Amino acid sequence: MGLEELPPELIERIALLLPLPDICSFRLSSRNMEAGGTHSHFKTHFYEKRIKVTEPELRKFAETVAAGGLPCLLRHVTLVAPLYDPEYLQCDADDKAMEIAGLNAVNVEDVQDAQLDCMLAEIKGLEDDQAAQLEMRDRGLDFALLGEAFGSLARHEVTLHSVTTEVKVHKGDVSRARHPLDQACKPTFPTAAYLSRLIFRVLGSHEVPIRALHLFNTEAMQDCCVPVDWLKDVDFSRSSTAWQTLSSLSLSLSNKLINRYVGAEGVLGHGWLLDHRLPTRPYEELLAESKDAKNFTGLVRLLECCESLTSLELSRVSLGLTTNAISHAQDAGILHAVDQVKMSNLTSLKLQGFHTSPDQMLGLLRRHRSLQHLSLCIFSILHAEPVQRAQLGECPVHQCACLIVVMLGSAATEGPGLGELTSFTPCPHLPDIRFAFDHMLQDEVNFMERKVTTHLAGAFPLTTSAMSLQELPQEIFDEILQLLPLHDTCSLRLVNRALAFVATDTDFKARFRAKTVEMNETGLRRFAKAMKCGGLSLLLRDLTLAAQVYDINTLSDEIDDKQISSFGPDTPYASDGTLQHVIQPLGPEELKKMEADMEEMDKQDEELQKFQESKMDAFLLGAAFSGLDKHGIALDSIRAEVILYQQDSSTPVLPLWGFDDQPTWAAANYLTQVILNSLNLSDFHVEKLDLFNSDRMVGCSLAIDALSKVKFSNSHSALRNLKCLSLSISEGYDATAEELDPAYFEGFAGLLRSCSNLTHLDLADYRLAMYKHEDNPELYLLQSRGIVQALNEAQLPKLQILKLQGFHINEEQLLSIIQARHTLHQLSLRAIHLQGGRFQPVLDYCTQDTKLKDILLDSLFNQGKLQFSPPWAIDKSIENPTYDGYVDLKAHWRRGPDAGKIEYTIYGGGIRNVTELNWEQNIENWYGPHPDGQSRARHLLRPEEIWRALI
């Protein structure tokens, strides 16, 4: 069919994979395509806009918004003020030397003539842009153009969800912007203050509704702030729609900037923020000036304008030279300004970087009785007595989020030149309050009970003379990180830039390399959002996608029988190595709990079925893969798994402990189809794809006919990038011998054709049920024959490693597989049952007539068990003492000058001891069939019995 005949859902899916220019071309192809392509995804490209505060960009913004149309879909505006710093590059040019920052030091390199010419050209560009920026401000074009744009938004009845301000520093090539955290940058607060005043003027002059205003209080804008006293020069007298509709305000403030002062130790004060041309002033005079109430009148007027404010977030940054006394005075003034204004609708308050007294904190909380959420980050309470701390816990706050709270036992002595306290002296009487820790990659807040004293004491020693965390040796700091869970490490990194640098080590980043995503709505939405936003999520290399199975029937039978008759991870073993049946009667309370658990599992299963029927799982997984492709991320592996819920909806177990194979196979088939269809529509790089062929997925396999429902594409597919494919396959759950014709294996053949660049292939053949094998012995012969035929017909010109497991084939079929692969370097055979012929001709061909360098053999059957002869035999008891007395089942042949034949003898006897029984049960676990689900290995897989997914 043509594109115009496609359903709107498919057109939207196609649009999801295209960049904006291609979507526009797509819509211009015809009127029908324009209607079909103009859906939510296309419109989202216009929801957000970053605007550089320069004349060309502001003029373009004003013109596009004035015209109306799609640009009026705008919801989130980010205004970026450029800061041009040619002086930094000019110093390098004058010295003809360039400073290069290394890991531990700054290295100086000489500048060559060609480099000098480039530097001079860059300086000229920076100076020109700086001059143009100043001219725009002098002429008032910034206010006129931005005001014109906001006026147009008001005329088109646009409601902005957020306005965010940022500063970008240009100190080299004008095309390369730097964050304000760059230590070599010039001060950013004048530019921040300029942009704040500009946005305040515009909002006060135009009637555009705004819900949230973020002024430099984002993660990217650390250390970028507005001195609090600069707000007093802003006119907040005019009440506009913007102020009336504003419900969320986030602002990064600093102290009033002070200069050098005279104290007991002489002239104090240094640093690049200070103006040394100004005379020094007495310390007492500066302290009194910092306490002046006029410094905070601007903040009071700003808060008074925001009549509908429900959320307030204030961050305090230390700017320039300060002392404890001056810093605490500034904090007290800011918090007093918040306390002065009656904000009757305020429900959320977040304070970062403040020092306060308990009286002031209590007064603030009691005044704002509507507060429901309080967040204190890097917050210090001075002079806090036990009674006052208890009163803090009794304030009407429903949720208290706390990253690190430092309770100081005594206040800093007021005096000139006294530095910040670096010791932590917690109070032992701190009440047990519920704190919320924000997880970096989670949407909701996870609550955990934790005493601050316990948290700090577990992280580092607490004494009155202890050094700060930043002064600890890197080795000790690494040991601390090893003891902290991920969310606490993330909180620690948010303290300041220095700690973020030392805490971002290899071990911390490794926590983001692997991720398990459960294939439900919560897990997939969170995963898709993380891949879209980027950040540390882009360190992902190993992805596990887990399908959920709710086994309600097992729990229902136990409730009906009023007893548990089962085997599982905690079940004891009989003397012969098999699991014992444990029968345990159930009391009334246990039955009531099990009924509630079954009801919850039934609800979860129903929600999962609706989610799958809506096809949102495929959509969200495709969106996540698109995010990986957009950011250029190459995954090392994607692994498919199935997890079972049998006892309740929160205790997952591995398929090995399942009672009913059918729902496990159905979940595996569905998950495979979702993954392969998403990979067919993506083009990012994946090194390995593992479909239920790992230690954790013993007792789970993929029905080979499920692959026939996947439409494989030979071009522009992520499958073409695969280097390694590992999968466990079985016949269909209800398959009959009559169904196993060549068409039955076409999906498997299509998968191999799509993976044309494979270098490593690992295939395991699973026999699904014992009764099928007994009733129809031809079933598995037909299964193996179809797999072998598809494998031989596949064009895999780069295949170097081949591993076959669990197959029931004859000598001719096995030999044909090897003969068709002239590029093989390594061959592995495990649990191969030769139904006709002998292994010896096959092994002789491999050692004499091929280029194989390694041959690995394990548990082979040919009218008995093959026991290999030296020197290639491997004594299994060396690596696993449980196999003592049962050796030579494995062999490893390596090509060399003196490499001879692989020889073996056949042992046709039965099981002789428990060790041999364990070995046989393990083979049945891996490759089936196990009667009634009771074949379980005693010693293998024990570490992996219980699911430990990192969601």
- Residue 169 confidence (pLDDT): 84
| pTM higher than the cut 0.75 | no
pLDDT band, very low/low/confident/very high, at 642 (cuts 50, 70, 90):
very high
pLDDT band, very low/low/confident/very high, at 117 (cuts 50, 70, 90):
confident
- Reduced to 3 states (helix: H, G, I; strand: E, B; else coil), residue 246 is coil
pLDDT band, very low/low/confident/very high, at 278 (cuts 50, 70, 90):
low
| Range 735-762 average pLDDT | 85
- CB contact at 8 A, 205 and 164: no
Residue 61, H or E segment: helix 55-67
Task: Report CA dihedral (276, 278, 282, 286) to the nearest 10 degrees.
Answer: -100
351-363 burial, b if ≥16 CB within 10 A, otherwise e?
A: bbbbbbbbebbbe
CA distance to 72, 211, 781, per residue, from 159 (Å)? 10, 8, 68
Q: Which residues contact 274 (CB under 8 A, 6 or more apart)?
A: 259, 260, 320, 321
Query: What is the rounded average pLDDT for all residues in the chain?
Result: 74
- Residue 406 confidence (pLDDT): 40
pLDDT reading at 317 higher than 60: yes
| Range 150-169 average pLDDT | 90
Query: How many independent structural domains does the chain possess?
Result: 2
- CB contact at 8 A, 163 and 77: yes
Residue 623 lies in a domain: yes
DSSP strand pairing (162-170 vs 76-84): parallel
Which of the listed ranges 111-115, 260-264, 552-556, 930-934 does the model predict with the highest average pLDDT? 552-556
Q: What percent of the chain lies above the pLDDT cut of 70?
A: 67
- Residue 530 confidence (pLDDT): 87
Residue 249 lies in a domain: no
C-beta neighbour count of 700 within 10 angstroms: 29
- Reduced to 3 states (helix: H, G, I; strand: E, B; else coil), residue 613 is helix
- Residue 172 confidence (pLDDT): 63
Q: Which of 35-39, 165-169, 338-342, 830-834 has the lowest mean pLDDT?
A: 35-39
Residue 448 lies in a domain: no
Q: Which token pair is 612?
A: 């799958």
- Residue 449 confidence (pLDDT): 27
- CB contact at 8 A, 851 and 870: no
Residue 539 lies in a domain: yes
CA distance to 242, 466, 868, per residue, from 344 (Å)? 18, 43, 83
Which of the listed ranges 84-88, 478-482, 558-562 does the model predict with the highest average pLDDT? 558-562
Nearest to 761 by CA among 819, 661, 828: 828
Q: Select the more confidently predicted residue: 498 or 770.
A: 498
Residue 781 lies in a domain: yes
pLDDT band, very low/low/confident/very high, at 175 (cuts 50, 70, 90):
very low
- Residue 564 confidence (pLDDT): 74
| Domain of 23, in residue numbers | 3-43
pLDDT reading at 84 higher than 60: yes
- Residue 468 confidence (pLDDT): 63
Task: Report CA dihedral (470, 472, 477, 483) to the nearest 10 degrees.
Answer: -100
Q: Which token pair is 836?
A: 């006709």
Give pLDDT tens digits for 771-785: 455 556 677 677 878
Query: In this structure, which amino acid lies at residue 948?
Result: R
Tokens 């194979």 belong to residue: 661
DSSP strand pairing (248-254 vs 355-356): unpaired
Residue 39 lies in a domain: yes
- Residue 59 confidence (pLDDT): 92
- Residue 689 confidence (pLDDT): 96
pLDDT band, very low/low/confident/very high, at 675 (cuts 50, 70, 90):
very high
Give pLDDT tens digits for 373-426: 888 776 666 655 554 555 555 555 544 544 444 433 333 333 322 222 223 333
Q: Select the more confidently predicted residue: 453 or 859.
A: 859
Q: Which of 385-389, 560-564, 874-878, 894-898 has the lowest mean pLDDT?
A: 385-389
Q: Please state, in angstroms and rounded to a whole number, the distance separating the CA atoms of residues 755 and 713.
A: 10
- Residue 258 confidence (pLDDT): 61
Alpha helices in 755-896 (DSSP H): 770-775, 778-793, 811-819, 839-848, 876-879
Residue 614 lies in a domain: yes
3-class SS letters over 624-693: HHHHHHHCCCCEEEEEEEEEEECCCCCCEECHHHCCCHHHHHHHHHHHHHHHHHHHHCCCCCEEEEEECC
- Residue 393 confidence (pLDDT): 54
Q: Select the more confidently predicted residue: 709 or 379.
A: 709
Residue 389 lies in a domain: no
pLDDT reading at 667 higher than 90: yes
- Reduced to 3 states (helix: H, G, I; strand: E, B; else coil), residue 805 is strand
Q: Please state, in angstroms and rounded to a whole number, the distance separating the CA atoms of residues 514 and 245.
A: 43
Tokens 């139904």 belong to residue: 835
Q: Please state, in angstroms and rounded to a whole number, the distance separating the CA atoms of residues 883 and 940.
A: 11
